[in-house]
Amino acid sequence: MARDRNPLVVGRVIGEVLDPFTRCIGLRVTYNNRREVSNGCEYRPSQVLNQPRVDVGGDDLRTFYTLVMVDPDAPSPSDPSLREYLHWARSIGRSVSSYPSIS
């Protein structure tokens, strides 16, 4: 039996945080206009100090999305006591939960 190599499955995001899904639009997230986020990558707090730029694809401009950034196993996989910690959320281009400043 082949093992799934999708980082969202390996990291247990799909199954514990999200139900399985089929990707239907493109999503590009970059920090400091150069560091593109991809599934399974880890970043130091100093690399993500500022709110990222988020580009959502799709052909229908009448379709709106809500973007939620959560940490599925905060503060660490061995101690997920803050499981699904909400970092920030945006809906229809407006901030629902502000981006936290890391100090």
In terms of residue numbers, what domain contains 79?
7-97
Confidence of residue 1 (pLDDT cuts 50, 70, 90): low
Task: Tell me what pLDDT residue 2 has.
Answer: 60
Does any domain span residue 73?
A: yes
Q: Is residue 65 part of a domain?
A: yes
Q: Rounded CA gap, 74 and 27, in Å?
A: 23
Q: Give the model's pLDDT for residue 50.
A: 86
57-98 pLDDT tens trace: 888 888 888 888 888 888 888 998 988 888 888 887 777 777
Collapsing DSSP to helix, strand or coil, 95 comes out as: strand
Total domain count, the chain: 1
Per-residue pLDDT tens digits for 9-35: 888 888 888 899 888 888 899 998 888
The kind and range of the H/E element at 53 are strand 53-56
Residue 102 lies in a domain: no
Residue 46 to residue 25: CA distance in whole angstroms: 29
